Amino acid sequence: MSITLISKEGAQFLVSKPVADRIGVVRDCAYGADFWLGYAVATDDSMGITLANVTSSILSKILVWCEHYKDMEPLVDGDSNMEFPEWDMAYIGHDMNQILFVLEAADYLHIPGLLLLACKGIADVLDGRNPRGICDLLGIVMDFSHRQEVDMDKENGYWRWFLHPT
Partner 1 sequence: MGHIDSSLQDSSATVHATAERASMPASIYALPTELIGEILEAWQALDPSAPESAVCVCRSWRSIALSMSTLWRVLTLGSAGIKVPLWHTRSHGRIEHLRLLANAIPRYFPMFGTLLDSAQLARLCSLECRLPEWLRYDVLRRMPQLRNLRVVITGNPVTLVWEVLASLESLRILDLVNAYPQDDRPLPFPKLRVVRLQCHEGAHLLRFLLKTCSGLPLEEAALSLRQAGDKAITHPNERDLVNLGSARCDYESLRHLRLEGKMDWHLLTSRLYLPDLRTIVMNNFPSPSAAACFGDLRPLEAPIRSLTISTHDHLAIEEGLSILIQLEGVPTLEHLRITGYLSDTFLDGLGEAYQPNLAHIDLSGCEGVSPAAAVRLAIARIESGHPLRRITLNGCPWVTPDLIPLVQDIGPTVEYSQRIAPIIPRGWSNWTFAQR
Choose between 45 and 79: whose C-beta lies nearer to partner 1. Answer: 79
Choose between 15 and 51: whose C-beta lies nearer to partner 1. Answer: 51
CB-count exposure of residue 106 (10 Å: 0-12, 13-18, 19+): buried
Contacts with partner 1, 102-141, as mask; x by CB under 8 A: -xx--xx------xx--xx-xxx-xxxxxx--xx--xxxx
Choose between 2 and 52: whose C-beta lies nearer to partner 1. Answer: 52
Q: Are 30 and 23 in contact (CB under 8 A)?
A: no
Q: At closest approach, how far in Å is the CB of 48 from partner 1? A: 19
For β-strands 48-50 and 2-6, DSSP reports them as: parallel
Residue 46 sits in the site that holds partner 1 (CB under 8 A) = no
Q: At closest approach, how far in Å is the CB of 20 from partner 1? A: 20
Choose between 66 and 105: whose C-beta lies nearer to partner 1. Answer: 105
Query: Which residues lie near partner 1 (CB under 8 A)?
Result: 8, 36-39, 52-54, 79-81, 83, 85-87, 89-90, 97-98, 100-101, 103-104, 107-108, 115-116, 119-120, 122-124, 126-131, 134-135, 138-145, 148, 152, 155-159, 162
